[in-house]
Amino acid sequence: MTDPVAADLARAKGLVDQALAASPRSAVAHFVKGQLLRVQGRIEEALFEYETVIASDRNSVPGLVNVGRCRMLTGSLDEAIPPMEQAIRLSPHNPYSGPYFATIGTVHLLQSRTEEAIAWFEKARSTNPELSDVHARLAAAYGLKGETERAATELTEARRLSRDDQYSSIIRLKAAGGPGSSNGYWGVPKVRALYESTYLAGLRKAGMPDE
């Protein structure tokens, strides 16, 4: 969020290394290290840190959520769902659980289980209607289903809610990173290919131009 990003990341690394040196089993320190690695796009290393958190505290909702997200990005798609579902069970009244539902929906979308994806995205929209990326994912899913009017409506809402122009075109969305990404990271090649054939294909059907 600040201009000297590299300096901030270096300082964060120094601090988390100090914390782990002082308390190597600290679940909080391992979680923070996972966050740092995820921001850097080092997803497999981040996954190890989040799994270390879960080994220490199996009921850590932030740990479970990030294990699920990282598994999705590394291509272990169906293995991404159980930790997300566990996080939802542990925090059933969490007012910010829309992204949890959306991650599960994305796993289904990437594997062309469009009906299941829509159900989860609609849950996410009901929980957190102000999330632009949820509307964009719904637009893609409706587009793939052939419901182009509903797809166009969701895309319009995504654009309205977005703070930038990332939903103006496919090329702009790729530059911004897109859903499920971390710091512009779309996942391993297998996952990036699935985004192309499902999410981006659906957005084109919803009316998003390539440029």
- Which pair of tokens denotes residue 150? 């509903």
- Considering the domain boundaries, does residue 90 fall inside one? no
Q: How far apart are CA 18 and CA 135, in angstroms?
A: 41
Burial of 63 (0-12, 13-18, 19+ CB in 10 A): buried
The one-letter amino acid code at 91 reads: S
Residue 137's domain is classified under what CATH number? Answer: 1.25.40.10
Q: How far apart are CA 39 and CA 106, in angstroms?
A: 20
Quickly state the pLDDT bin for 5 (edges 50, 70, 90): confident
Q: Which helix (H) or strand (E) holds 139?
A: helix 132-145
The one-letter amino acid code at 94 reads: N
Residues 9 and 106 in one domain: no
- Considering the domain boundaries, does residue 26 fall inside one? yes
- Considering the domain boundaries, does residue 79 fall inside one? no
- Model pLDDT, residue 176: 82
Q: Name the 3-class secondary structure at 42.
A: coil
Q: How many domains does one find in the chain?
A: 2
**How do residues 96-138 score in pLDDT, each as one tens digit?**
899 999 999 999 999 999 999 999 999 999 999 999 999 999 9
Residues 62 and 106 in one domain: no
Residues 51 and 132 in one domain: no
* Domain housing 110: 95-211
* Owner of token pair 């509307």: 135
Residues 106 and 59 in one domain: no
**How do residues 92-102 score in pLDDT, each as one tens digit?**
899 889 999 99
Residues 59 and 141 in one domain: no
